[in-house]
Structure 1
Amino acid sequence: MAVSSYKSPISFTCRPRLGLRNCLFTPSILHTKQRRNLATTTLVSALPVTVSESSTPPIKSFNKLIELLINRVDLSEAEAEASLDFLLNDTTEALISAFLVLLRAKGETYEEIVGLARAMLKHSVKVEGLVDAVDIVGTGGDGANTVNISTGASILAAACGAKVAKQGNRSSSSACGSADVLEALGVAIDLEPEVSA
């Protein structure tokens, strides 16, 4: 299955017999040369099934990390993971902004994305009861003033009997975001994980 959006191609190549953990995610931020190198690798399956809380060394100097990004030095997977661990545990919005802006200005690498994804998995909130759910998410903030079709697709899939986990947020660059649409339809969008499933 391939999915793409205006100005931001994203493709998923799934091998059903191997399960969802073997889907190739190719964001547009990866350069063409990097994409070719990923032909037989997958982002999701590159991540361990279980991640130890102590699998990465802590950040010793966030200032040193910021200096590396200013100098456009690529981070290793472990450094990227430890960076996000630090940002999600004990930091300010200014440091989070500095890290994200500098990482984007430098250009993200495959290794950095894998490390950041590992950290996100460690810090993610697990929602019970969604084992067989499908996840529908749109581009959000694509700057192209596109129609929010993912929310409608979520409603249609649910009406057809699918269990749907819809990700979304409020509008940032368009007329409405998924949260705005669902809230206008009377959906409670601010439920805690333990009552949402």
Structure 2
Amino acid sequence: MKQILNRLFEHQYLNRGEAKEVLTKMAAKEYNEFQIAAFISVFLMRNISIDEFFGFRDALMDLCADVSPLAAYDPIDIVGTGGDNKNTFNISTLSCFVVAGAGYKVAKHGNYGATSVSGASNVMEQHGVKFTADIGKLERSLEECNITYLHAPLFNDAMKVVTPVRKALGVRTFFNMLGPVVNPIKPKRNVLGVFNLKMSRLYYYIYQNSDCNYTVVHSLDGYDEISLTDNFKVVTHLGEHIYSPEDIGLERCTQQDLDGGKTPEVASKIFDNVLDNQATKAQKNAVIANSAFAINNINPKLSIEECINQARESLESGKAKQTFQKFISLNN
């Protein structure tokens, strides 16, 4: 690691094989927390290269648990990279339950929040969810309520090893970038929110060389999801398009409207309010917008307006809440 760090400090880059080797050794606990923190910090000061990104991903995919039976359900994953420093409530997680409530299969791969008060795993735990890597339980959840949750550290030793370091650093790291593309199910459908246009281009390059049906979204004011606070860009295999909130029939909102609060308890309360259909209009619309583009990914023959209507119906009819309650009963 000393040699690797010296090279990186001299502004050199790793090749794909070297990047894979470093992360593989990290998972094997060959490095201490100080070395891991130093390594991660390098990528806070410079961009990750394509070769480094692919090498890190290669290692994580080789190390991940085998959950291939779940791929037969052809689920979608809806996830943001995190690290946008906007401290929003759990929009992508809520969208997963809205989409599942609309009748589609969802396999959410998530973790604790590194830069916000409440990540997907935080809000799940707050509601009594017990994380599991048991294939039978995960499959039952998909069958009975259309959604299953994969807590990342349970499926990858590297993720488990770096979790304390990421939490201690409390800043965006390259693991935020890797998380969305290392779902062990290897879903063929992905909705991914990114916090800047450079990342949008990176994931476009990655996805166009895969067989995934992808939707990459980015709000132009820096959100890693469709925030409705500004115009937003959507990139798919069919091309890219910039929408305004008004283009899809929804009202523009402010950053404060989407704030997740200062404690996990506040974020959890907002989460519940959305599912109870008691949230503010801005909070509800943000969830509906992200859910709609996920539905469009699954069923591209539908117009965005039809997808919004499906998402709204799932939320306002109580189907999303019923799905969540069933999910809790199966996973506690």
Which TM-score applies when normalising by structure 2? 0.38
Deviation at 1:157, TM superposition (A): 1.4
Deviation digits for residues 106-125 of structure 1 (CA, Å, limit 9, x no counterpart): 32111111111111111112
AA of the residue aligned to 1:161: G
Q: Relative contact order: is structure 1 or structure 2 higher (C-alpha 8 Å, sep ≥ 6)? A: 2
* Alignment partner, residue 164 of structure 1: 106
1:191 counterpart (129, 132, 156): 132
1:92 corresponds in structure 2 to: 32
Instruction: After TM superposition, list the pairs within 5 Å mapping 1:1-197 onto structure 2.
Output: 62-89=1-28, 90-131=30-71, 132-188=74-130, 190-194=131-135, 195-197=137-139
Give the C-alpha shift of residue 144 in structure 1.
1.4
In proportion to residue count, which structure has more helix? 2
Alpha-carbon spacing, 1:175–1:83, altered in 2? closer, same or farther (3 Å):
closer
Q: 2:24 & 2:119 partners in 1: Cα distance?
A: 28
C-alpha displacement of 1:71: 0.6
Quote how far apart the aligned CAs of 1:91 are: 2.2
Secondary structure at 1:135 match in 2? strand
Shift of 1:84: 1.0
1:149 to partner: Cα distance: 0.7
Residue by residue over 1:143-178, the C-alpha shift from the partner in whole angstroms, topping out at 9 and shown as x without a partner, is 112232101111011112222111223334334221
Q: In 2, Cα distance between the equivalents of 1:181 and 1:106?
A: 32
**In structure 1, how many angstroms separate the alpha carbons of the residues matched to 2:40 and 2:114?**
17
Structure 1 residue runs without a partner (length 5+) = 1-61
What stretches of structure 2 of length at least 5 have no aligned partner? Answer: 140-332
CA pair 138-80 structure 1, distance change in 2 beyond 3 A: same
Alignment size in residue pairs: 135
Tell me the secondary structure at the aligned position of residue 165 of structure 1: strand
